[in-house]
């Protein structure tokens, strides 16, 4: 199931890049590829954490999330540099990339959660429901990132609508990570 999500996510991102109305779409290629690799690494790490948890699978998961953050920061910087100079600096630096900031915030919250409960996760001293929420988070995060990248490359009203949907999905992801936090904090098992 996760492989299918990765394949569709990668195809969606590559399709977004090909249809970009930005004449300098190549400036976004490297961050896009970093994000694609981060999604693949994250989903692989997530599957490893649930099937055969170890320090290596935990590190794989963290590295995947960090790759996604690096790619998103790269895209935000490229967008800021190439943005219209007719807009105010506050609009270009804070308002336009707000969906990207939300996505980065969700990922940082997840990294924090993984870091706090590293031992419980590796030793599998967590409730079974954690795996379901974790996989749901991965799928929603992939959809959120695809929509975010679409909204960045599409400068029309459709791109603005996609940013709104990214905000809604980010809210859902924050709820999922909050539920995972509660599960890890209060519903641990002894093995």
Residue 49: pLDDT above 70? yes
- 32 or 83, which is more confident: 32
Domain-embedded: residue 165: yes
Q: How buried is 153 (Cβ within 10 angstroms: 0-12 exposed, 13-18 middle, 19+ buried)?
A: buried
- Measuring CA to CA, which residue among 180, 181, 108, 105 is closest to residue 148? 105
Per-residue pLDDT band at 15 (split at 50, 70, 90): low
pLDDT tens, position by position, 100-111: 889 999 999 999
Sign of CA dihedral 111, 115, 117, 122: positive
Highest mean pLDDT pick, 8-22, 107-121, 149-163: 107-121
Q: How many domains does the chain have?
A: 1
Q: How confident is the model at residue 3 (pLDDT cuts 50, 70, 90)?
A: low
Is residue 10 in a domain? Answer: no
Phi/psi at 188 (5° precision): -80, 155
Note whether residue 39 is domain-resident: yes
Is 4 among the domain residues? no
What's the whole-number average pLDDT of the chain?
Answer: 81
Its pTM stands at 0.81
Query: Do the domain assignments include residue 150?
Result: yes
Domain, as residue range, for 114: 26-186
In a domain, residue 144? The reply is yes
């Amino acid at each position: 199931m996760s492989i299918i999500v990765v394949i569709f996510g990668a195809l969606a991102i590559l399709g977004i890049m090909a249809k970009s109305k930005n004449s300098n779409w190549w400036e976004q290629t490297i961050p896009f590829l970093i994000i694609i690799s981060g999604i693949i690494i994250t989903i692989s790490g997530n599957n490893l954490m649930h099937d055969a948890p170890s320090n290596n699978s935990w590190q794989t998961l963290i590295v995947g999330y960090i790759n996604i953050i690096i790619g998103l920061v790269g895209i935000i910087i490229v967008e800021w540099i190439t943005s219209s100079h007719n807009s105010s600096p506050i609009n270009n630096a804070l308002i336009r990339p707000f969906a990207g900031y939300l996505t980065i915030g969700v990922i940082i919250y997840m990294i924090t959660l993984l870091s706090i409960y590293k031992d419980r996760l590796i030793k599998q001293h967590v409730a079974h429901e954690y795996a379901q929420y974790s996989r749901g988070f991965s799928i929603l995060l992939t959809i959120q990132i695809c929509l975010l990248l679409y909204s960045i490359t599409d400068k029309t009203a459709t791109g603005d609508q996609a940013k709104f949907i990214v905000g809604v999905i980010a809210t859902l992801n924050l709820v999922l990570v909050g539920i995972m936090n509660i599960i890890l904090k209060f519903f641990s098992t002894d093995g």
